Amino acid sequence: MRPVRKTAAVAMAEGNRPARKRRRSAKHASGSRAETALPAAARPDGPRATDFALATRAATPKARGPAGEVYLVGAGPGDPELLTLRALKLMQRSEVALYDHLISDGVLALLPPSTERVYVGKERGNHTMRQEEINALLVALAQQGRRVLRLKGGDPFTFGRGGEEIDSLAAHRIRFEVVPGITAALGVAAYAGIPLTHRDHAQACLFVTGHLKDGTMDLDWTALARPRQTIVVYMGLTALPALCERLVEHGLPASTPAAVVQQGTTRDQRVVTGTLATLAEDTARAKLRAPTLVIVGSVVKLRDRLNWFRADARTR
Ligand SMILES: C[S@@+](CC[C@H](N)C(=O)[O-])C[C@H]1O[C@@H](n2cnc3c(N)ncnc32)[C@H](O)[C@@H]1O
């Protein structure tokens, strides 16, 4: 195994945390490392090999060996009821949870009080911890023999850098499991009443990011501007005016319907609809804030009839 470089993150795992980080996580941290009995809903009830191994180790901590394990879990787009059963089970048996800004309070509330919480940030332009530090912290915690939950918004493998995190675990021979989540495109479109495909409108759907590594949007505009498809843009709010202009320049009619959805699936969901000609201005006027998803294509018009979600009327 490669030795772990002792970064601030690793020092944190060893209980030697810088004052700045201690202050931040005091707000978010709760609970101790003590084991608690799992609620019935969280107990392993199937014949899965991993369940058996986990249950055995939970019962006999000394047999756990030197390394713990990491669960890379997709938490969905915000509504806690969109978590998978597997996500909930692993959340409830975790000892320490690393989560970022996309994780809703409702999802966090499902962690047992005994799970230690570590906020690792990653808001645009405000990264509490760098990606390398997060990777190193996951390794360090697992090497202490702990059951580590890495909770990611949406799906860990969709614009989530989940691949990088488990690559680092694999390099250190740490056991991990990946639990897919409902990615923002699917959850947000459903709650906004916008079917991403529809036989009369779109036979294809593309997911792209509006935020690239060097700050530019180096997208395949010709492919994006093809007819009869839907485009979903993650992290596209800042670049929205340029995005709409480029699509029109490459051949989409300026009258193409388009929408921006803020905090989809949550009580704070807001939707602005328009066309490629009007969307950027209307969105700025509405003062939408991240996280937002941009949806472009004639399917957006269907929302006029299919808008079903009433956040206030939701009985939990
Ligand atoms: C770093 S990406 C992570 C995507 C995530 N892994 C997923 O599968 O949804 C963050 C972006 O996802 C989108 N996003 C995530 N949750 C959202 C939500 N509830 N409403 C609108 N957009 C959301 C936004 O575009 C946000 O900037």
Q: Tell whether 190 is covered by a domain.
A: yes
Q: Tell whether 56 is covered by a domain.
A: yes
pLDDT at 202: 97
pLDDT at 122: 61
Instruction: State the closest ligand 1 atom to the C-alpha of 156, by its place in the atom list counted from 1.
Output: 6
- Going from the C-alpha of 246 to that of each of 56, 92, 220, 250, the distances in angstroms are 56, 46, 10, 6
How far apart CA 142 and CA 148 sit, in angstroms, is 7
Q: Mark whether 122 is an active-site residue.
A: yes
Give residue 2 CA to ligand 1 midpoint distance, Å. Answer: 33
CA dihedral sign, ordered 103, 44, 178, 132 = positive
CB distance 171 to 63 below 8 Å: no
Give residue 291 CA to ligand 1 midpoint distance, Å. Answer: 6
Give residue 292 CA to ligand 1 midpoint distance, Å. Answer: 7
Atom 21 of ligand 1, nearest CA residue:
292
* Burial class of 60 by CB neighbour count within 10 A (0 to 12, 13 to 18, 19+): exposed
Mutation pick for ligand 1 pocket among 72, 102, 150, 270 (CB with most ligand atoms within 8 Å): 102
Residues 139 and 264 in one domain: no
Catalytic residue among 21, 79, 89, 100: 100
pTM for this structure? 0.82
Residues 171 and 253 in one domain: no
Question: 289 is in which domain, residue-wise?
Answer: 185-311
Q: Tell whether 1 is covered by a domain.
A: no
Tell me how crowded residue 260 is: count the other CB atoms within 10 A of its CB: 24
128-163 per-position pLDDT tens digit: 789 999 999 999 999 999 999 999 999 999 999 999
Give residue 293 CA to ligand 1 midpoint distance, Å. Answer: 7
CATH code for position 212: 3.30.950.10
Q: Quick one: how far is CA 84 from the chain centroid?
A: 13
Residue bearing tokens 């018009």: 301
Contacts 24+ apart (CB under 8 A), 108-111: 109/80, 110/80, 110/83, 111/31, 111/149
Residues 173 and 197 in one domain: no
255-300 per-position pLDDT tens digit: 999 999 999 999 999 999 999 999 999 999 999 999 999 999 999 9
Residues 166 and 259 in one domain: no
Atom 2 of ligand 1, nearest CA residue:
159
Query: Ligand 1 — pocket residues by CB below 6 A?
Result: 77-78, 102, 152-155, 158-160, 183-184, 188, 234-235, 261, 263-265, 290-293
Ranges of beta strands (E only) in 145-269 are 147-152, 175-179, 204-209, 229-234, 257-262
Residues 227 and 240 in one domain: yes
Which residues contact residue 4 at a Cβ distance below 8 angstroms, ignoring those fewer than 6 apart? 10, 136, 139, 140, 143, 172
Q: How many domains in the chain?
A: 2
Alpha-carbon radius of gyration of the chain: 21
Taking the chain (316 residues) in runs of 10, the rounded mean pLDDT of each run is 44 47 39 33 33 36 63 98 98 97 96 97 70 95 97 97 94 96 98 97 96 76 97 96 96 98 96 98 97 98 97 67
CA dihedral sign, ordered 109, 112, 118, 120 = negative
